[in-house]
Amino acid sequence: MTGTGKSASDVVIVGAARTPFGKLLGAMGASITHCGPAGTGQAVKACNNMILAVHQIVLSEALVLGERLGLDPQAFFDVVSNATGNSWALSVNAPIPGLVKGSPANRDFEPGFAATLMLEDLGLAMEAAEQTDTDTVLGRIAANQYAKFVEGGNGGKGFSAIIDQVRHS
């Protein structure tokens, strides 16, 4: 499942034998995708969250660069959210307070999805990459960045708080 599980708008990812549980799972999310046999749902989730981690870090880098260039964060958001740089990380989870209603940044990075959970999923993705001899350069960098962030005592913050580490590196 992606999201917090608090609303029926989350994405449910299923890896198991096809069963008549669709209606039950439908109450949990707006999108239900059967990914194949047992374990494939977890694999898709790990890959999806690897993408999200990379997006969140590069978004944070771009926002910090913009800050240091003197760009207005709202103008930056308005342009990028309507251009090719848009992503879920920006449009839903922007790490600067006030840009997106409902963003954890508006609540001092109170987690919906904690950095420790992101690191766990990145660990699963890195294990899968090793088992399949797949070189995930950016995924590995993201895993290292989140490991450093969590080791720095930030594991309980929402994963988008990684911007604080970017600001201080």
* Active-site residue list: 45
* Structure token digits, residue 1: 């499942």
Q: Please state, in angstroms and rounded to a whole number, the distance separating the CA atoms of residues 115 and 118.
A: 5
* Structure token digits, residue 4: 């917090």
Q: Please state, in angstroms and rounded to a whole number, the distance separating the CA atoms of residues 13 and 167.
A: 34
Using alpha carbons, list the distances in angstroms from residue 46 to 7, 11, 13, 129.
21, 14, 11, 11
What are the beta bridge partners of residue 14? 34
The end-to-end CA distance of the chain, in Å, is: 32
